[in-house]
Amino acid sequence: MMATAPAFWQRKGWRAVALLPLSGLFLLLSSLRRLAYRVGLLASQSAPVPVVVVGNVAVGGSGKTPVVIWLAEQLTLHGMRPGIISRGYGGQGEGVRCLSPDASALEAGDEPVLMARRTGCPVAVGRDRPAAARALCAAHPAVDVIISDDGLQHYALGRAAEIVVVDERVLGNGWCLPAGPQREPVARIGAADLALLHGPCSAALAARLGDVPQAPMRLAGDRLVSLGDPAASVPATDFAGRTVHAVAGIGRPQRFFDQLAGMGLTVIAHPFPDHHAFTPADLAFDDGLPTILTEKDAVKCAPFAPDNTWVFPVRASIPDAALQPILEKLSRHGRQAA
């Protein structure tokens, strides 16, 4: 679960039970809203090009950002020219805007800046997803497919395909907000075009996913990169047996700490809330030990991080065949548009 998630979301205790009436109301309203879009009472807006949504059904870090990066790279390899739209959480900019090459995380948010740097794709941010899609296509006419980061519940934007990232540990007690962490029931995943299973998946959960195409994913990484000199990198195992400060302001910091510990590092863990606005004081340990950051946090901390700071990049490791259902939907969408 994310660092700021209530502990009672993990179990069906009395606090969660007390909130079940509100969860029932939340579920009713969210279901009616989705139905209203499906039957046309509320209008979804089409983007100028097909949209692939990457999202999840629960609050918290399930690994969506690495999946967006993976999808952008895969679509590029298949001859497409993807662009990315994102809410821009953590950014202070207003309205809809396309990122410049030197955009700061303070302005646009940490995840959009990371995705732009890792993929080289055009990125637009804004609360209004349809407006962000239009602005992206207007600024970058070559874009022929849009990836919407964390847009599963943004039904105002029409989509050609949906990818749901499923981390069973993030699903908690299985109840909807506010009694649990879920934005929609697990059954919603069955309506998607692809479910990516991040980590173990129990038989009970697998049975609830229905016939949706499924594929495993994991976050893979094996090198540390110097924040001050990106050309300098070493195998992470070079730090085995050493004590390090590990700093993470992501949805699930413990996953980052565990990954480092699994490679033999002795971790002093410093968890922060997702999208935390870091300051120099957050990294002022003054003991000479190395500091290791996630990529997402590094884009914010680069201006003031100490010299002995390293970044641990990870990538989504997903079987190539997982892309096939998405390619088929995009192909059918193209034929319909023609």
Assess if residue 8 is contained within a domain: no
Query: Do residues 121 and 161 both lie within one domain?
Result: yes
The CATH number covering residue 77 comes to: 3.40.50
Assess if residue 4 is contained within a domain: no
Assess if residue 31 is contained within a domain: no
328: Cα separation from own chain's centroid: 23
Question: Given the DSSP bridges, would you call strands 194-198 and 161-166 parallel, antiparallel or unpaired?
Answer: parallel
Dihedral sign for Cα atoms in the order 68, 278, 87, 121: negative
Query: Do residues 212 and 177 both lie within one domain?
Result: yes
Going by C-alpha positions, the residue among 57, 98, 300 that lies closest to residue 190 is: 57
Would you give the DSSP letter of residue 182? Answer: B
pTM: 0.93
Query: Do residues 209 and 233 both lie within one domain?
Result: no
User: Which tokens hold the place of 112?
Assistant: 């959009």
Query: Do residues 83 and 139 both lie within one domain?
Result: yes
Query: Do residues 102 and 247 both lie within one domain?
Result: no
- 111 and 86 in contact (C-beta within 8 Å)? yes
Look at the chain and report how many structural domains it folds into: 2
Assess if residue 29 is contained within a domain: no
pLDDT tens digits, the chain, 338 residues: what are they?
444 678 899 999 999 999 999 999 999 999 999 999 999 999 999 999 999 999 999 987 788 999 999 999 999 999 999 999 998 776 666 789 999 877 887 778 899 999 999 999 999 999 999 999 999 999 999 999 999 998 899 999 999 999 999 999 899 999 999 999 999 999 999 999 999 999 899 988 988 898 999 999 999 999 999 999 999 999 999 999 999 999 999 988 999 999 999 999 999 999 999 889 999 999 999 999 999 999 999 999 999 999 999 999 999 999 999 999 999 999 988 756 65
Assess if residue 9 is contained within a domain: no
Query: Do residues 102 and 158 both lie within one domain?
Result: yes
Q: Alpha helix (H) ranges present in 183-244?
A: 203-208
Query: Do residues 197 and 130 both lie within one domain?
Result: yes
Query: Do residues 278 and 180 both lie within one domain?
Result: no
Query: Do residues 235 and 150 both lie within one domain?
Result: no
Query: Do residues 298 and 324 both lie within one domain?
Result: no
Q: Which residues of 311-336 are buried (b: 16+ CB within 10 A; e: fewer)?
A: bbbbebebeeebbebbeebbeebeee
**Which domain, by its residues, includes 301?**
222-313
